[in-house]
Amino acid sequence: MVFSFLRRFARNRAALVGLLLILIVIAAAIAAPFLFPRNPLRIVGRPEIWPFLTWRHPLGTDSLGRDIAAIIAHGARTTFMIGLLASLTATLIGVTVGALAAYVGGWVDEVLMRIAELFQTIPNIIFILTIVSILGQTILNITIAVGIVTWTPIARLTRAEFLSLREREFVQACRAIGTTDLKIIVREILPNALPPVVILSSLVVASAILFESAVSFLGLGDPNVASWGGLIGDGRTLIRTSWYICAVPGVAIMLTVLALNLVGDGLNDALNPRLKT
Amino acid sequence: MGRIVIRRLAQVLPLLLGVIVLNFTLIQFAPGTLLDIMSADQQVSDPVLIERMRVLYGMDQPAIVQLGKYIWSVLTLDFGFSYRQNAPVLDVIMTHLPATILLMVASISVALVVGVTAGVVASVKVNTIWDNLISLGAVFFFAAPTFWLGIMLTILFSVKLGWLPVGGMRTVGTEPSLVGDVLDVARHLVLPALSLGLFYAAMYARIMRASMLEVFSLDFVRTARSKGLSGSTIVVRHVLRNALLPVVTLLGLQLGTVVGGSVVVEAVFSWPGIGSLMLDSVMSRNYPMVLGVLVLSSLVVAVSNVAVDLAYFKLDPRIRAR
């Protein structure tokens, strides 16, 4: 089954391109400390050197004379770490809430879904900015804040999956032999509900990356960490002379998000071959 | 119809209460109190004066009493006083709100018009070069961060070509007539509305294409064809209307993100809406203002959600039966 899944995925050319792009970004993130061992936020040369002019700074330097290539490579680490951890946070909250709502039902379901609706109503970036400004501008707080605003779709999907699985025969059989509720949820229903949820989580990584870059762009990111959004924010004042400072990190964000979306779509199509149009 | 509007509006109230409680709890986590910031900001060091301010702002009382008081004052439309702008919070927000709502409406219009048109064209010309180009564009705009797209559009249309203004809402220093003013604001609105709207347009184009293709395969379309209706009539009057439903659903779910996205776009184009106000308040730790913006923007989302529900209701008679 896993094998045929992989084969269906591999037949999707766009998804393979996406996968390749993601691997390149991951490779850049892993290689960053070896390629650029010094602090990427350190000043290395003349400010505003255009890309592709010197070998020393292949992507040029920014308004302060920092190496853009180094910031991009180290920024890939930040981006991926926040994206993955925020998605993990969102998945943990979402799966817990969705599973409880569907399995327990009744007023618990009602209350939990109201709470989900509440989180969907508060404009997400405004909420993230509030959390970050109150708790402080650190990577951890940004990660938590992004996780807190992105869990609702995961909760809804988990709930829907659990509702359709809850009354199946194998669950009833477990009940009949006296399996505890916790065991039924964790060991019986969850593994069956998980594949679509995991795919949604991979799409949440993409939106988490977009949120993180927006927060850094607005100047509320962690000031001690190289970040793609932060570089765009720094370069904004120079768009008349050196617009490449904004363009380069933006392309990096766009390609990463695009790749994640393509892979997510590919996984989705491979999982539900009938739904493909 | 009227009963349903009232019932939906009644559901907004507990939601609003939830927002207030949530944000009040969040503020309690803040490391410095409002008083610390105010005394630092205005260099008040007299302990007697600080104590008087503490009583004035009710901070000598337990958190639960403060919460009760805050909820009560919000319900009576009193959001407190902003020492930064030296005006009531509600007044400041109200002067900034129209700009944000204008941006929201313009972006959603861009998203709907561009997205639906692209989706329809892609589905009618399915698997042609047009379809592929539209899909490619959708993938591109779906992945580009709105603020980056905004900056790139500015570089192209304002810096290089000089067609449109870089930012702001009105040209400074002119005193134009009413028509001139509307045109001036419209010129300033183009780039922000495009940056925010194209992201959603990309999403709607994809959804619209899929849902058009699905509706095309239904029986009633075959009936319409067999009774000899022209292709365009079928597309516009039969397929389009039914295929719009998923887009409307999505629109309702995403209003919150549109308001959030406007914060970022407003920062790029220095658009004088509540997003710029929010950013300024967050930076200066003006908590009464932050809370006020959160509550009021959530209210805007909740009320627009009701409006979307009603649009859904108009579009799909099947829901009315329930």
Q: Where are the domains of chain B?
A: 90-149+198-320
Say what the pLDDT of residue A276 is. 45
**Greater model confidence, A188 or A91:** A91
- Over 70: is that where the pLDDT of B320 sits? no
Confidence of residue A92 (pLDDT cuts 50, 70, 90): very high
Measured between CB atoms, does A37 come within 8 Å of chain B?
no
What residues in A contact B261, CB-CB < 8 Å?
A: 125
Mean pLDDT, to the nearest integer, of B253-262? Answer: 81
Q: Does residue B189 surpass a pLDDT of 60?
A: yes
**Residue A219, amino acid:** G
Residue numbers of B between 211 and 240 with CB closer than 8 Å to A:
213-214
Report B:109-148 residues touching A (Cβ under 8 A): 139-140, 142-148
Q: Does residue A91 register a pLDDT over 70?
A: yes
Is CATH 1.10.3720.10 the right assignment for the domain spanning A2-275? yes
Is the per-residue pLDDT at B91 higher than 60? yes
**Chain A nearest-CA residue for B277:** A126
Set of chain B residues whose Cβ sits within 8 Å of the Cβ of A134 = 26-27, 29-30
The CATH class of B90-149+198-320 is mainly alpha
Determine which of B151, B153, B213 to mutate to test the interface with A (most A C-beta atoms within 10 Å): B151
Mark which residues 248-277 of B lie under 8 Å from A by CB: 253, 256-257, 259-261, 263-264, 267-268, 275
Does A203 touch chain B if contact means CB atoms closer than 8 Å? no
Range with lowest mean pLDDT among A72-86, B58-72, B104-118, B272-286: B58-72
Cα–Cα distance between A118 and A110 in angstroms, integer?
Answer: 12
Given this model, what pLDDT does residue A87 score? 92
Q: What percent of chain A has pLDDT over 90?
A: 6
Nearest Cβ partner of B154 from A210, A239, A257?
A239
What is the arithmetic mean of pLDDT over B91-104? 88
B66 pLDDT more than 90: no
Complex ipTM > 0.85: no
Q: Residues of A with CB below 8 A from B213's CB?
A: 277
- A46-55, A98-107, A168-177, B69-78: the lowest-pLDDT one: A46-55
